[in-house]
Copies of this chain bind each other. A is one copy, B any other.
Amino acid sequence: MAEPTPTPVRRGRATIVDVAAAARVSKSLASRALRGEPGVSEESRRRINEAAESLGYRINSAARSLVLGVSGLIGVILNDIGNQHHTAIVAGVEAEARERGAEVILAHGGHSVSELQSRIDTMVGLRVDGLIIVSSWVPHATLDTVGREIPTVVVARLDDPPESIDTIASDDEAGARAAVEQLLATGRRRIGYVTRSASATSAARGRGLDQALTQVGIRGSQHVLPRDDTGDLRALLARREFDAVLLNNDQTAADVIRVARDLGISVPTDLAVIGYDDTPLAAALIPTLSSVDQPQQLMGRRAVQALAERQNGRTEPLREFFPPTLVVRDSSAPTTAEPTTTEPPTAKPPSAGGAQA
């Protein structure tokens, strides 16, 4: 009767103590029941669940992870959430994590290395059980540090990954080789590689191109263009140096197709084009774009497996490379008609143009 406050001054959300009180049991019993553990009478279990329901109880995972020492969380760091190659990897991560009962949270540091590092700090602070970094931008030292703290796998090609982390990538040299071989098989000889990236990945693809061309005794040309510049691309294509180009990604390939069209260069008749990553863009373009596909789903899944292996004690670093697949579409289809180049008809010279690595 003289009770001051029947309902205790609820600070915020209902806690397990509130639930226990409402169900008139101890918090230990409530904890067990709520987790579905055995050793709780049906009657108690019912009352506890009822109380939890009516109070809108939600477990506080901060408290839980504090006492357990694990969070059940896998953290994923991206540097380009708008890149469909990266998000496809995330899909694989999520699929595998779901099957293993882990939750996936993502963080995105798109603008700078320091931002990426800050996202990593957040994840580590959150005590994620493992970290998957879909980016090649994170410095060696940062990776080494975090790798010593928690299981970490980088899904990207790294020049010199620290021992403390695992890496998963696709075989970029093989991917580029496959592309070039298809171009050679359809009679192309003046083959170039154009990229807007200075990454290890891009460099590896350039090497793959060289390997394939060297094998048949001709030289290719490689061109590194500034990011986000279309003028250089136009100038390059206007020289009509090649009859086929491999690009470092589908977006750049789309730019090539558009610029070529503006210049009156017909794709694929005058110029075959092959992109990389086989994003949805490739199938949407006109002509549809041939592209080197990476098994992103598999790579994502494997990353989660690698995390689990580390948790189970593996200490040797994993270095895994998945084989890519060339998807041939219209942009590199065999040409039946003669090239309509405005250049002199040196259509298929056994030697090639260009320079500059």
Residues of A in contact (CB 8 Å), total 54
Choose, from A31-39, A106-114, A165-173, A217-225, the stretch at the interface. Answer: A106-114
List the B side residues contacting A25 at CB < 8 Å: none
Contact between A60 and B125, CB atoms less than 8 A apart? yes
Nearest neighbor of A95 in chain B, beta-carbon distance: B111
Which residues of B are found within 8 Å of A125, using beta-carbon distances? 58-61
Contact A126 B62 (CB under 8 A): yes
User: Does A281 touch B at the CB level, under 8 Å?
Assistant: yes
Whether B286 lies near A261 (C-beta < 8 A) is yes
Please indicate the chain B residues that have their CB under 8 angstroms from the CB of A119 in the complex. 103
A159 lies within 8 A of chain B by Cβ: no
Interface string of A181-221 (1 = CB under 8 A from B): 00000000000000000000000000000000000000000
Residues of B within 8 A of A118 (CB): 103
Contacts of A226 in B (CB 8 A): none
Partner of A58, one of B66, B87, B121: B121
In this complex, what residue of B is CB-closest to A69?
B12
Rounded to whole angstroms, the CA-CA distance of A338 and B255 in the bound complex is 30
- Residues of B within 8 Å of A90, CB to CB, are 81, 108
**Among the listed B62, B71, B87, B104, which residue makes an inter-chain contact with A63, where contact means beta carbons less than 8 Å apart?**
B62
* A60-B56 in contact (CB<8A): no
A149 interfacial by beta-carbon distance below 8 Å: yes
Report whether B281 and A69 are in contact in the complex, using a CB–CB cutoff of 8 Å. Answer: no
- Closest B residue by C-beta to A148: B56
- Judged by a CB distance under 8 angstroms, whether A257 is at the interface is yes
Closest to A279 in B: B82
Cα distance, A115 to B99, chains bound together (Å) = 13
Q: B107, A107: Cβ atoms under 8 Å?
A: no
Within the complex, the shortest CB–CB distance from A55 to chain B, in Å, comes to 12
**B281 and A58 form a contact (CB under 8 A):** no
Give the residue of B66, B84, B107 whose beta carbon is less than 8 angstroms from that of A105.
Answer: B107
Shortest CB-to-CB span from A135 to chain B, Å, is 15
Answer whether residue A285 sits at the interface, using C-beta atoms and an 8 A cutoff.
Answer: yes
Docked pose: A310 CA to B210 CA in angstroms: 59
Instruction: Verify if A11 is at the interface (C-beta below 8 Å from B).
Output: yes
8 A–B contacts, CB within 8 A, in A order: A58-B125, A61-B125, A63-B66, A81-B87, A82-B91, A91-B110, A126-B126, A258-B288
Further pairs besides A81-B87, A255-B284: 5, Cβ < 8 Å: A61-B127, A62-B66, A94-B108, A104-B108, A106-B108
Name A residues whose Cβ lies closer than 8 Å to a Cβ of B.
Answer: 11-13, 56, 58-63, 65-66, 69, 71, 81-82, 84, 87-88, 90-91, 94, 98, 103-108, 110, 115, 118-119, 121-122, 124-127, 145, 148-149, 251, 254-255, 257-258, 261, 280-281, 284-286, 288
